[in-house]
Structure 1
Amino acid sequence: MTKYTVNCSILFQELPVLERPAAAKAAGFDGVEFWWPFAESVPADSEVEKFIAAVEDAGVELTGLNFADDIPGGFRGLLSNPGRSGEFRDNIDVTVGIAERLGTTKLNALYGVRLDDVADSEQDELAVVNYGHAAKAAQRIGATVLVEALNAVESPTFPIVSSQGVKNVIDRVAAETGQTNLAFLADFYHLARMGEKTADVLARYGDLIGHVQIADTPGRNEPGTGDFDFAELYTGLEKIGYDGWVGLEYKPSGASADSFGWNQ
């Protein structure tokens, strides 16, 4: 049986952040995941405590958490941005500390978008170093750092837009830092938008997959609103032995609480 976890940074936006874990629980889910849930890259201790309490009080598992990024600002990751990588590093211990207290073992570190005034090679070198720092910290609690591909249609300046691109990053981090606790966050919405076939992804990269996320294509709404073959995905995941959570990272076509009819 598929275990779904609700991404409460894209779903339940009608509610304040701290009310979303309870809303997910009320909708029948036992897991939640978040992008960086704070306004600041390094939040105050009181804000961290409030977030942890909201998850614990809701009675849900925090199945995944992003390291600090600036999605509202369009940066899609700070770890490869020379001007802001300090913000990424400053929050590593905060992220790992939250994960340790809530039993979270999947931590997503988004690659940064390309910058006009910085050479690609400089960004790539910095990304490897910072992935290494994040992975070393995560290793202390038995956690895995996830690497995700986005799609170039919606994120044209994002450099990692394929499964092979993710593998290249993971391999380079292992070779240059010795950290091997990195895995593929396979968001099949983004991969499908880039023309990747589900069966091919699972056959070629299945052993790298540490977490799965879904949304229907092409609109990124809930399952049943597009043309993505979810039956093929679930059959394929079972075949490769994936038994982890499947993250619901879709934009609800209406109210979030009304978007789960497909899961009846």
Structure 2
Amino acid sequence: MAISFDVNLSILFTEIPLLERPAAAAAAGFSAVELWWPFATPVPADGDLDALQRAIQDAGVRLVGLNFDAGDMARGERGLLSRPAQSDRFVANIDVAVGFAERLGCTILNALYGNRDADADPVRQDELAAENLAKAASAAARTGATVVVEALNSYESPHYPITSSRGAIAVIDRVRKESGVDNISFLADFYHLHRMGEEPLELVDRLSARFGHVQIADVPGRGQPGTGTIPYGEVLGRLEKSGYAGQVGLEYKPVGPSAASFGWLKEIAS
């Protein structure tokens, strides 16, 4: 299969320190990795950025996807760009994230929308999100990068308003129309979308031309393909035939040790 896979080092190989994970991914046979924003602040120290860059480069892998700062994910935050109280933090992170991605040749930047704020007007939150997405896309365009927008499932992220492919596409089309940027695409995470009732095969047939990036995990447990109900052999075959030329990110919680969770690649993706 000609599909190119990368490993999300924010959810796989978490048994070991972050700076050791790129080498672990290389040892497992991967040449590409992606990351959620791995720092506690939007503007980390130069030394921290340099250390992560060296770890990636020394391992001989490519960084193909990077999230903008999304807040404290462990505490339930799911992005900053629509959050009035945290918008400045997102804006402060734009040039840092874009610059770090450029240093490593990374051209996909994921901007998580942000949870609904009970004290804010939803209309204003959506306006703010569109404004910040336009800022992020404009910065990314200078390096040839694309910003992607992702839908999450409401079971795990009950306050996140973008929970369908239609919702994500509507955000993308709004920003393109209002701001004139065209380097914004859809991040199709088949795990989240399937949990919300969308079938991956139908999504590929209908929207593959809109995919800027793809991520996979199985349903219902978010384990590796083969541990749930999504027919990933068929899905990946359909994706390849669609002409999709991007990466497929492995963003699953491994059942067992991370290094032992890749057997499905031979069983399903061959």
Shared fold (TM-score, shorter chain, > 0.5): yes
**Partner secondary structure for residue 113 of structure 1:** coil
Structure 1 unmatched ranges of 5 or more: none
User: Are the equivalent residues in 2 in contact too, given 1:198–1:232 (CA < 8 A)?
Assistant: no
Q: 4+ runs of 1 displaced by more than 4 Å?
A: none
Residue 52 of structure 1: CA displacement? 0.8
**Partner secondary structure for residue 161 of structure 1:** coil
Measured against aligned partners, the alpha-carbon deviations of 1:10-62 in whole angstroms (never above 9, x if no partner) come to: 01111111111111001110010000011212111111111111110110000
* Aligned residue in 2 for 1:68: 69
Once the two structures are overlaid, the 10-residue window that deviates more, 238-247 or 111-120, is 238-247
User: Are the equivalent residues in 1 in contact too, given 2:190–2:217 (CA < 8 A)?
Assistant: yes
* Aligned residue in 2 for 1:171: 173
User: Are the equivalent residues in 1 in contact too, given 2:76–2:157 (CA < 8 A)?
Assistant: no
Residues 1:214 and 2:216 aligned together: yes
Q: Distance in 2 between matches of 1:159 and 1:87?
A: 20
**Partner secondary structure for residue 55 of structure 1:** helix
User: Are the equivalent residues in 2 in contact too, given 1:6–1:247 (CA < 8 A)?
Assistant: yes
Structure 2 unmatched ranges of 5 or more: none
Residue 178 of structure 1: CA displacement? 1.1
Q: 1:76-87, aligned counterparts within 5 Å? A: 76-87=78-89
Residue 235 of structure 1: CA displacement? 2.1
Letter of the 1:183 counterpart: S
User: Are the equivalent residues in 2 in contact too, given 1:35–1:66 (CA < 8 A)?
Assistant: yes
Q: 1:62-211, aligned counterparts within 5 Å? A: 62-70=63-71, 71-211=73-213
Q: Distance in 2 between matches of 1:229 and 1:147?
A: 24
Residue 243 of structure 1: CA displacement? 2.0
Once the two structures are overlaid, the 10-residue window that deviates more, 13-22 or 134-143, is 13-22
Q: Distance in 1 between matches of 2:223 and 2:236?
A: 18
C-alpha RMSD of matched pairs (Å):
0.9
* Aligned residue in 2 for 1:10: 11
* Aligned residue in 1 for 2:243: 241
User: Are the equivalent residues in 2 in contact too, given 1:82–1:126 (CA < 8 A)?
Assistant: yes
**Partner secondary structure for residue 5 of structure 1:** strand
User: Are the equivalent residues in 1 in contact too, given 2:152–2:193 (CA < 8 A)?
Assistant: yes
